[in-house]
Structure formats: structure tokens, C-alpha cells
């Protein structure tokens, strides 16, 4: 071995080790007996003392809380680094609020219900605390960091709203962005300078926050902008950010002009912790680096996201808890061979994990992964199209996760050759209609996606507002999506198991359906109600996306022979779909629409038993599926 190789090996085997402790000092060298106080100082020392990028850096955080006031930037010069925390090591982007008083202002008290007047407390926020910005958010609107949010014992509190639970309905429309209410209570409220409304203003899969600029018993409610898809009578919404909404423990509201935060604590403040999220950007921002690992850390209380990695390689977030951020947990954009594993991600304002990598032109995979994670209570602020895992690009995988308790999707998929397997998905799509736990749609060329050995349970419709389709599917192949394989899954109802929405060349094989309603819904929408969208220049851009990848030439023609044999005139016809070797116990098996019949499928070897009491998946023998292998592994 040459001398340079010996030196390189020595550097790899002898990393620069630094220790950080809440009892340390940034004047110390960072040794285990003389630790540093802050992570920022540890990164500074690493940058100045490491012997080139070949020498690894290992930063060790002892138990304790470490305030993060600004984004930690990690660049190429920080490559080959691990940041590890002992149990109890927490990176916090929040400020602890300790100075609470009873409410003394009589005008404020008059606007609060009698029960809460003696229980609500107020804290004046210091000028240094960034309150963030209240602004339009929701479907089709670019995601922005959340405004300041309040947490109590690590749980997100509720911005004061009306009604306390449930929804109001849009009444008759009285003008542009203006409507009446059947409930006259809001018109009796005091002055509202910063009143907002969150609504599903037309469809039950598209919400937005809109500022209320008028509230009058004669002219009605006026909002400041046109919601996605406009206003529709009878749709659901509620008001938020108002003193009159302080009606239950956990409610809070911030008067931005006076910087006074009013809070009804669920328990005595003297014995519990109230925290305001103030970190405005991501906690960590990695760009152009490689071989960076986070492990054993708790990250929480930012107004934006936890970890954002761009154009990086071999980035790993392992065994961490990522919670209480205003937007995402971990976002990997344009990365390679990177991922999130054995983490707990919860109480996030938007998407928990985003995996975006791979080249759709060449079909080169990125090999990104989300594995063995527990993902729940995400999309608590942005309610639609912010899933537990968003996967796009080519060649990425989502495996062995538990994804549960959220208003919309578990997995949102686009791109090619992704693997979704052994996930336990339950109680999602609980606040939306026309929704899918695993969703993909509107593309004929995003092929090669495998949805295998997952368990779907407690997934069904919850929205009951009339006027729109409100079905909920476990796997939703929406609007002529083609070329997916759905193999070996267990569907336990009560909603539709698989929506085969007009697409081609999809394979549904060896699955177990337990009392579905139905197991498969099969239609030909591309030549029916959606026919106009299958033409060039239409809103779906379906033909344009088909042409964009040159599907009749390599690499697409080689990878997907069925696609190479498909002409533009074929796209509207749902041919080539296979339903074989499935087991359906109870419920309804297949519903056919648009004059389709069983002859429009390649259909064989399916066993359908409509009688009997098939109550649990564990009572039957799924076809080679071991339920105990589904979900996170130890």
C-alpha cells in the first residue's frame, strides 16, 4: 500500500471527535472531559481542525436541550460527518414562555366566554421573537413556513377557532368571494383585524386559508381572494384566529399588534412547558455534500422543516425523532443513495418525508429510501397533498413504515420504478373525500411502480357534505394512471380497496380483500366524462407528458414494452389490465362503470366468497403474506 493510501486510511479510521454538552463552554476544545456548549461551535472547530475531507468528523451531543436560533448550513466542506445524540439530546427551534398572567383587560374579557375568563392566561412576547406571517396557504399555493405556533408539553395547541368542532357551511353567494351564513353568531363578534377562515371551498380534496376582510350581517362574509376552484354553496369551513374562539383547554390566539398571546392551558403552567416555535427556516440545510449522518437526535419546534438536503449523496437520518415543525420533517431533493430510517416523525404541519431523486429522461434511479419509520399526525396545518411520504423521480423505495392518523394521503407517488412494500397504513384520509391512501394519477409513462405486501385498514369515507364524490380508496390509480403492479396486499375495508380509474396495463394480483366496498372500482373515464382531458392542450397535459419522454424509443421502449406498443389513440381505452389470483372475502368484489365488463380485464384464478363473517385479517390466511412482517422492523 502506497504512503498516500496509508494516510487516507488512517484519516478514515481516526475521525476528529467533538463533544457538546449543555454544561460545556465554547471556549473548551470539545473533548469528552471539556465539552463545547453549542453545535455551531463544534462545526466551526471541525472546519478548521480536520485534516482535509478524508478525515471524518464525529460530533457527539450529550443529553439536554440545544437551542437552534438559525438554520445550520452544511456544505461540501462538511462532508464525511456524523452528528449523534445520546437519549435526551434535543435540538429546539423554540422559545420557552414562562411569564404568564391572568387576563386583566376588560374589553378582552368581554369577548371570552364566562367559563374561560378566570382560566385563560396571557404572555407578552418579546420584540426579538419572530412571529412569522399569516398568509394564504393550501392547495395549489406555494408552501411557506408557518407563523409562530404554540406547543404545550410537546403537543401542538389549537389556534382559537369557531366553531370549536365541526364546520360551518357556505350559504348563498352574494358577490365575488362573498357569502351568507345561516349561523348569525360571527356577526356579533368584536373587531376582527386578523381573522382567517380555513375551508374546503369547492372540492373535499382542496383546502385553503383565506383572510376575512368583511363580516356584516347584511352583506355576509367576504374573503380576500378566490379560493382554489372558487366558492360553492354548501361547502365547509371554519373561522380561526379570534378571541371569541377561546372556548376550550388548549386554545390560543395571538394579537399581533400588541404581541400578546392568550392561552387556555390544559394543565397548570407552573408544572408544564409552553413553547413557541420561532426558527424561521429548516433546522438543517444540506447542499452539495456527501456522507452526512444524523442519529439519535430529537429535532423540534421550527416554523419550517427539520432537515432539507439538496443535491447531496449518502445522507442518512437514522433513529431520530422529528416533531412539531410547521412544514416538513425531512426533504431530500435531487439526492442520491440517501434516506430516513428507524425515525419517529409526527405532529408536522405538512409532509413528513419527501424523496425526490432520479432522472426520468434516462430512468437512472436515485435509490432514496424511507424505511422502518413511525409516521403520524402529519399535515396538521396543510391538510391536502402533504402525505406521510412523497416519492418522485426514479427508483426510490418506501418500505416497512407505519403511516397513520392523518387527514389525507399516506403516500403520494409520481415517477418510475418505485417500490412501496410492507407498510402498515391505517386511519388516513380522515378529513378529505375523493382521496387515496396511496395515490398516483394522470400519467401514462410513470410505469414500473410496485405496491406490494402492504396492509391497509380503517380507511374509508368520513366526509358527508353533499355535492361532490367523497369516496376514499386504499390504492388510487387516478385519472388514467398506467403500468402499476399491486401485489400481495391486504385490504381490510371499509372503503374502496383499489380505484382503477381508466388506466392501462395495471396488474392486480395475489391480494386479499376483506369486506371491501368494493374491492376494485373499474371505469373508462378517459373515453367518458374525462375525454376532453385526453386531448392535446387539455388541462391534464396527458398527451404532452406522454410525448415528453419519447415512449416509443429507448430507454422507455426497452423498459416498458407495453408502453412502446401504445399509441396516442389507445390512451383513453383501459386495456391491458390484469386481475388474477386474488381472494375476496365478503363485501363487494368489482364494480364496472362506463359499459365495462369482466371481459375488459385479463381475469383468472380469483376466489370470491361473499358469505361468512370475515372480521379480521388475522382470521383468514392471506396468500403467502405474513402480517407480522408488515410495518417497522426492530
> Peptide bond before 555: cis, by omega within 30 degrees of 0?
yes
Contact yes or no for 448/559 (Cβ under 8 A):
yes
Report the distance separating Cα 508 and Cα 486, nearest Å: 5
pLDDT at residue 72, as a whole number: 98
In this structure, is the dihedral angle defined by the CA atoms of residues 28, 29, 35 and 41, taken in order, positive or negative?
A: positive
Check pLDDT > 70 for residue 431: yes
Check pLDDT > 60 for residue 129: yes
pLDDT at residue 8, as a whole number: 45
pLDDT at residue 24, as a whole number: 97
pLDDT band at 9 (very low <50, low <70, confident <90, very high): very low
Check pLDDT > 80 for residue 584: yes
pLDDT at residue 612, as a whole number: 61
Average pLDDT over residues 115-144: 95
Check pLDDT > 70 for residue 16: yes
634 by Cβ neighbours in 10 Å (0-12 / 13-18 / 19+) ranks as: exposed
pLDDT at residue 614, as a whole number: 61
pLDDT band at 285 (very low <50, low <70, confident <90, very high): very high
Tell me the percentage of the chain whose pLDDT exceeds 70.
96
DSSP H or E run through 8: helix 3-13
pLDDT tens, residue by residue, 348-384: 999 999 999 999 999 999 999 999 999 999 999 999 9
> Peptide bond before 494: cis, by omega within 30 degrees of 0?
yes
Average pLDDT over residues 289-299: 98
Average pLDDT over residues 175-186: 92
| Three-state DSSP state, 567 | coil
Report the distance separating Cα 200 and Cα 464, nearest Å: 13
What is 139-150 written as a DSSP string?
A: TTS--------E
| Three-state DSSP state, 531 | helix
pLDDT tens, residue by residue, 509-546: 999 999 999 999 999 999 999 999 999 999 999 999 99
What is 56-91 written as a DSSP string?
A: -EEEEE-SEEEE--S-EEE-GGG-SEEEEE-TTEEE
pLDDT band at 617 (very low <50, low <70, confident <90, very high): low
Check pLDDT > 60 for residue 7: no
Contact yes or no for 398/429 (Cβ under 8 A):
no
pLDDT tens, residue by residue, 458-490: 999 998 776 778 899 999 999 999 999 999 999
Tell me the percentage of the chain whose pLDDT exceeds 90.
89
pTM score, whole prediction: 0.95
**Contacts by 600-604 with C-beta closer than 8 Å and gap 24+?**
600/522, 600/524, 600/574, 600/575, 601/522, 601/577, 602/576, 602/577, 602/578, 603/579, 604/580
Instruction: State the average pLDDT for the chain.
Output: 94
> Peptide bond before 163: cis, by omega within 30 degrees of 0?
yes
Check pLDDT > 90 for residue 622: no
Give the CB-side neighbour count of residue 556, counting CA atoms within 13 A: 23
- Reported residue count of the chain is 634
Contact yes or no for 73/307 (Cβ under 8 A):
no
pLDDT tens, residue by residue, 206-217: 999 999 999 999
Annotated domain spans of the chain: 3-90, 417-629
Contact yes or no for 383/419 (Cβ under 8 A):
no
Check pLDDT > 90 for residue 562: yes
pLDDT at residue 464, as a whole number: 79
Report the distance separating Cα 127 and Cα 112, nearest Å: 26
Report the distance separating Cα 405 and Cα 402, nearest Å: 10
In this structure, is the dihedral angle defined by the CA atoms of residues 500, 502, 506 and 507, taken in order, positive or negative?
A: positive
Amino acid at each position: 500500500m502506497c504512503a498516500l493510501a496509508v494516510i487516507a486510511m488512517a484519516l478514515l479510521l481516526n475521525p476528529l471527535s467533538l463533544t457538546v454538552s449543555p454544561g460545556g463552554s465554547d471556549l473548551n476544545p470539545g473533548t469528552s472531559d471539556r465539552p463545547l456548549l453549542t453545535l455551531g461551535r463544534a462545526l466551526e472547530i471541525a472546519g478548521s481542525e480536520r485534516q482535509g475531507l478524508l478525515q471524518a468528523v464525529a460530533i457527539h451531543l450529550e443529553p439536554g436541550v440545544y437551542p437552534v436560533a438559525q438554520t445550520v448550513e452544511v456544505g461540501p466542506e462538511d462532508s464525511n460527518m456524523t452528528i449523534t445524540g445520546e437519549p435526551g439530546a434535543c435540538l429546539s427551534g423554540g422559545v420557552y414562555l414562562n411569564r404568564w398572567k391572568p387576563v386583566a383587560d376588560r374589553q378582552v374579557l368581554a369577548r371570552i366566554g364566562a367559563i374561560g375568563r378566570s382560566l385563560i392566561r396571557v404572555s407578552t412576547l418579546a420584540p426579538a421573537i419572530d412571529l412569522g406571517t399569516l398568509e394564504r396557504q393550501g392547495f395549489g399555493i406555494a408552501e411557506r413556513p408557518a407563523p409562530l405556533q404554540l406547543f404545550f408539553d410537546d403537543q401542538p395547541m389549537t389556534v382559537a377557532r369557531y366553531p370549536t368542532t365541526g364546520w360551518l357551511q357556505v350559504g348563498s353567494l352574494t358577490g365575488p368571494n362573498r357569502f351568507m351564513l345561516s349561523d348569525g353568531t360571527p356577526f356579533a363578534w368584536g373587531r376582527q383585524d386578523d381573522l382567517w377562515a380555513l375551508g374546503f371551498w369547492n372540492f373535499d380534496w382542496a383546502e385553503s386559508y383565506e383572510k376575512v376582510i368583511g363580516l356584516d350581517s347584511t352583506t355576509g362574509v367576504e374573503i380576500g381572494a378566490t379560493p382554489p376552484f372558487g366558492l360553492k354553496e354548501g361547502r365547509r369551513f371554519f373561522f380561526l384566529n379570534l378571541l371569541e374562539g377561546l372556548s376550550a383547554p388548549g386554545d390560543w390566539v395571538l394579537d399581533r399588534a400588541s404581541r400578546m398571546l392568550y392561552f387556555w392551558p390544559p394543565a397548570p403552567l407552573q408544572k408544564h412547558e409552553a413553547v413557541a416555535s420561532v426558527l424561521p427556516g429548516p433546522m438543517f440545510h444540506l447542499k452539495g455534500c456527501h456522507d452526512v449522518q444524523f442519529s439519535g437526535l430529537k429535532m423540534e419546534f421550527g416554523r419550517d422543516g427539520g432537515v432539507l438536503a439538496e443535491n447531496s449523496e449518502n445522507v442518512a437520518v437514522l433513529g431520530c425523532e422529528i416533531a412539531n415543525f410547521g412544514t416538513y420533517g425531512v426533504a431530500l431533493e435531487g439526492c442520491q443513495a440517501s434516506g430516513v430510517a428507524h425515525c419517529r416523525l409526527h405532529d408536522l404541519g405538512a409532509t413528513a418525508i419527501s424523496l425526490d431523486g432520479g432522472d426520468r429522461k434516462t430512468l437512472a434511479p436515485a435509490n432514496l429510501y424511507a424505511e422502518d419509520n413511525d409516521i403520524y399526525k402529519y399535515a396538521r396545518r396543510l391538510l391536502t397533498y402533504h402525505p406521510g411520504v412523497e416519492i418522485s423521480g426514479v427508483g426510490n423505495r418506501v418500505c416497512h413504515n407505519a403511516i397513520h392518523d392523518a387527514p389525507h394521503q399516506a403516500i403520494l407517488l409520481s415517477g418510475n420504478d418505485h417500490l412501496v412494500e410492507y407498510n402498515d397504513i391505517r386511519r388516513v384520509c380522515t378529513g378529505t373525500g375523493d382521496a387515496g391512501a396511496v395515490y398516483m394519477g394522470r400519467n401514462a409513462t410513470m410505469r414500473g411502480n410496485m405496491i406490494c405486501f402492504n396492509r391497509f385498514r380503517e380507511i374509508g369515507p368520513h366526509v358527508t357534505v353533499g355535492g361532490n364524490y367523497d369516496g376514499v380508496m386504499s390504492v388510487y390509480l387516478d385519472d388514467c394512471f398506467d403500468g402499476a403492479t399491486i401485489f400481495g396486499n391486504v385490504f381490510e375495508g371499509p372503503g374502496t380497496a383499489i380505484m382503477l380509474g381508466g388506466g392501462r396495463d395495471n396488474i392486480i394480483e395475489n391480494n386479499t380483500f376483506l369486506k371491501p366496498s368494493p374491492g376494485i372500482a373499474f371505469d373508462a373515464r378517459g373515453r367518458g366524462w374525462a375525454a376532453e382531458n385526453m386531448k392535446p392542450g387539455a388541462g391534464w397535459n396527458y398527451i404532452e407528458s406522454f410525448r415528453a419522454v419519447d415512449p416509443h424509443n429507448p430507454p422507455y421502449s426497452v423498459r416498458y414494452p407495453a408502453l412502446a406498443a401504445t399509441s396516442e389513440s389507445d390512451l383513453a381505452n383501459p386495456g391491458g389490465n390484469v386481475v388474477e389470483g386474488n381472494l375476496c372475502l365478503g363485501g363487494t368484489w368489482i364494480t364496472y362503470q362506463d359499459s365495462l365488463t369482466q371481459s375488459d380485464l385479463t381475469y383468472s384464478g380469483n376466489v370470491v366468497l361473499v358469505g361468512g363473517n370475515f372480521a379480521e385479517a388475522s382470521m383468514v390466511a392471506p396468500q403467502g403474506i405474513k402480517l407480522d412482517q408488515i410495518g417497522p422492523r426492530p
